[in-house]
Amino acid sequence: MSAPTYDLGKLHGGLRLPGNKHDSTAAPIYDVPVPRQLVLPLAQHVGDPAQPIVGIGERVLKGQLVAEHEGTLGAPVHATSSGKVVAIEPWPISRRFGDPAPCVVIETDGEDRAIEAADAPVPFDALPPDILAAKILQGGIVGLGGAVFPTAQKLMQATTLGTTKLILNGVECEPYISCDDVLMRERADAIIGGAQILMHALGADECSIVVESDKPEAIDRLGEMLGEFGDERITLKQVPTIYPSGGEDQLIQLVTNREVPSGGLPTDVGCLVQNVGTAAAVYDWIEHNEPLISRVTTVTGPGVAQPMNVRARIGTTVADIINFAGGYTELARLLIIGGPMTGKSVSTDRVPVVKATNCILVLSEVPSVGTTRPCIRCGDCAAVCPVQLLPQQLYWNACADDEKKLRAYGLTDCIECGCCDLVCPSHIPLTADFRKAKGRIQELADEKARAERARRRFEARNERLQREQDSRNEELERQKDTARSAGPAAIAEILKRKRDQQDDD
């Protein structure tokens, strides 16, 4: 067995927050029954929405492709049980705070019949890394820690850059969320099996599975399983329980003491980070032909009768899951998808569980921020910022809508962790302001990119027209030369053709 190690780098700032995880970790993972209706959003990943390939009225089987991936950062979507497609229409989704987005709606038939695999399973290490990555793409697998970046594209990008270190993120530092903890306790074998597959696809020679020290059951189980696998390339590391040590860049800093540069990527320091749930999903797809059709999610908070962790089909509505967990308590006031720090509050429980849904949290009160007062320049926000930003400076520049200064002060590096909000004695909603400012900057960047694309199209059109004109002129010159030797009648004919062409132009 690989003993957990502690040779850690240092995390700047962060906070020790009450975990509130005991209620949901007291029992094993429960399977939510297949609901009567499944709602599958076409955009469950960072890239372009998937394109539906099924029609209304069509019967589908569990695991069948219902929408193909589109664009360079796309991911496909699969039916998560058998039944009939009854609609392809906008439906409230959590990513848009309950606003609608296009979804495939399936009325299930209760048979849960699976599609037959097209290919016989091939041992993963018999496949070349690029073929293995392409196969991972077909499974619809995206980062399950919340970022939902398609796993295959992340692997391909990292392979091109010669990345050799894989980090599996089991650091679940946000309060209330415990789905990764219970997954590590119950499916350590799938996580380690997934690590081996990811390492092969990446060409990595080492992997660290990183867990917080307040998860002794997960650490013991992973340690036991590592002993059984006997793969010396994979080690287990513990980190202290500090929020937000599970942020990608923060984790790399802690585990390797390497600092991802501002505006950079983990691959800049030779690392690739994947969530432990993603590793298990890769294992299920490559070893058992099961695409990403379900996930473990925590349903918890004082507003839920029986807090627990459930394995739910993607597309099950939050209402169905809360019902399975005993329903709402009389304390229920606020529904959040995700954790209390980074989650999104939604106005309806009709939203479906998607690949990103790690937690369904029902709080007993809407957090009150108190009356906002002017900044007193105490510097507390800077002391806790894990990215070493100056939130007070960012705040002033956000109020002034000064894009140049916001960029200069590193707004785009803000991970929206909310630590600055929690400590601000003036109750300034810093993170919400930063989120809005980032949105505005992104809109400007999108607008610039659109204008640049239009400019390039315009120039390309002009160049094409010029090329066509040049070639017509050359042709006329050639004909003139021929006519000169042929006589006046032929010259008159060429001049007439030129006049006709100018009229056309």
3-state secondary structure of 212: strand
Nearer to ligand SF4, 378 or 486 (CB): 378
Nearer to ligand SF4, 129 or 386 (CB): 386
Min dist CB 20 to ligand SF4, Å, is: 20
Q: Which of residues 414-433 bind ligand SF4 (CB under 6 A)?
A: 414-420, 423-426, 428, 430-431
Distance in angstroms (rounded) separating the CA atoms of residues 234 and 139: 24
Tell me which residue of 63, 68, 30 sits closest to 48, measured CA to CA: 68
- Contact with ligand SF4 (CB under 6 A): which of 169, 391, 398, 437? 391
Q: Note whether 19 binds ligand SF4 by CB under 6 A.
A: no
Distance in angstroms (rounded) separating the CA atoms of residues 325 and 336: 16
Min dist CB 249 to ligand SF4, Å, is: 10
Distance in angstroms (rounded) separating the CA atoms of residues 452 and 461: 14
Nearer to ligand SF4, 302 or 410 (CB): 410
Cβ atoms of 305 and 327 within 8 Å: the answer is yes
Q: Note whether 245 binds ligand SF4 by CB under 6 A.
A: no
What secondary structure does DSSP assign to 399-467, as a single string? HTT-HHHHHHTTGGG-----HHHHH-TT---HHHHHHHHHHHHHHHHHHHHHHHHHHHHHHHHHHHHHH
Q: Which of residues 369-388 bind ligand SF4 (CB under 6 A)?
A: 375-381, 384-387
Tell me which residue of 282, 250, 243, 278 sits closest to 266, measured CA to CA: 250
Q: Note whether 395 binds ligand SF4 by CB under 6 A.
A: yes
Q: Which stretch binds ligand SF4 (CB under 6 A): 146-154, 212-220, 253-261, 389-397?
A: 389-397
Nearer to ligand SF4, 103 or 428 (CB): 428
Identify the helix (H) or strand (E) that includes residue 18. none
Min dist CB 421 to ligand SF4, Å, is: 7
Min dist CB 434 to ligand SF4, Å, is: 6
Distance in angstroms (rounded) separating the CA atoms of residues 348 and 136: 33
Nearer to ligand SF4, 122 or 376 (CB): 376
Residues that bind ligand SF4 (CB under 6 A): 375-381, 384-387, 389, 391-392, 395, 414-420, 423-426, 428, 430-431, 434
